Amino acid sequence: MAKLDLDGIFPPIPTPFIKEKVAYDKLASNVERWNTTGLKGFVVLGSNGEYVSLSEEEKRAVVDTVVQSADDEMLVIAGTGCESTTETVRLTEDCAKLGADAALVVSPHYYGGRMNETALVKHYTTIADQSPMPILLYNVPKFTHINLAAGLVARLSEHPNIIGLKDSAGNVIQLGEIINAVASDFNVLVGTAGVLFSALTIGCVGGINALANVAPKQCVAILERVKAGDLDAARKMQLKMIPVNQAVTVVYGVPGLKAALDMLGYFGGAPRLPLLPSSKREKSEIEAILRKADLLP
- Positions annotated as catalytic residues are 166
Q: Is 20 in the site for its own copies (CB under 8 A)?
A: yes
Which of 206, 208, 207, 213 lies closest to 256 in space, CA to CA? 213
- How far is it, in rounded angstroms, from Cα 292 to Cα 297? 10
Give yes or no for residue 173 binding its own copies (CB under 8 A): yes
21 SS3 class = strand
Question: Contact at 8 Å (CB) between 90 and 127?
Answer: no
Site size with its own copies, rule: CB under 8 A: 60
SS3 9: strand
The backbone torsions φ and ψ at residue 58, rounded to the nearest 5 degrees and listed phi first, read -65, -40
> How far is residue 294's CA from residue 116's CA, in Å, rounded to a whole number?
45
Count of all residues that appear for the chain in the document: 297
Nearer to its own copies by Cβ, of 33 and 202: the residue is 202
- Cβ–Cβ under 8 Å, residues 179 and 203: yes
- CB 270 to its own copies: min, Å: 12
What distance in Å separates the CA atoms of residue 171 and residue 232, rounded to the nearest whole number?
A: 22
Residue 142 touches its own copies, criterion: CB under 8 A = yes
Nearer to its own copies, 47 or 65 (CB): 47
Residue of 27, 115, 135, 152 that binds its own copies (CB under 8 A): 115
Peptide bond into 274 cis (omega under 30): yes
CB of 96 to its own copies, least distance (A): 20
Residues 233-272 that bind its own copies (CB under 8 A): 235, 238-239, 242-243, 246, 250, 253-255, 272
158 interacts with its own copies by CB under 8 A: no
Binding-site member from 18, 68, 97, 112 for its own copies (CB under 8 A): 112
Residue span 46-75 as binding mask against its own copies, x where in contact by CB under 8 A, dash where not: -x----xxxx--------------------
Stretch that binds its own copies, among 6-14, 79-87, 95-103, 214-222 (CB under 8 A): 79-87
**Of the residues 29, 35, 126, 130, which one makes contact with its own copies according to CB under 8 A:** 126
Of 38 and 243, CB closest to its own copies = 243
DSSP 33-73: HHTTTT--EEEESSGGGTGGGS-HHHHHHHHHHHHHHS-TT
> Between 197 and 216, how does the x/- string for binding to its own copies read (CB under 8 A)?
xx--xxx-------------
Closest CA to 14 of 282, 210, 160, 263: 210
Q: CB neighbours of 217 closer than 8 A, spacing ≥ 6? A: 37, 38
Examine residue 130 and tell whether it contacts its own copies (CB under 8 A).
no
- 186 contributes a contact to its own copies by CB under 8 A: no
Q: Does 117 bind its own copies (CB under 8 A)?
A: no
Binding its own copies by CB under 8 A: which of 1, 71, 110, 151? 110
Give the whole-angstrom CA distance, residue 127 versus residue 122.
Answer: 9
| Alpha-carbon distances of 157 from 18, 247, 285, rounded to whole Å | 40, 33, 42
Q: For binding to its own copies (CB under 8 A), which residues are involved?
A: 20, 47, 52-55, 83-87, 108, 110-115, 118-120, 122-123, 126, 142-143, 145, 170-173, 176-177, 179-180, 192, 194-195, 197-198, 201-203, 229, 231, 235, 238-239, 242-243, 246, 250, 253-255, 272-276
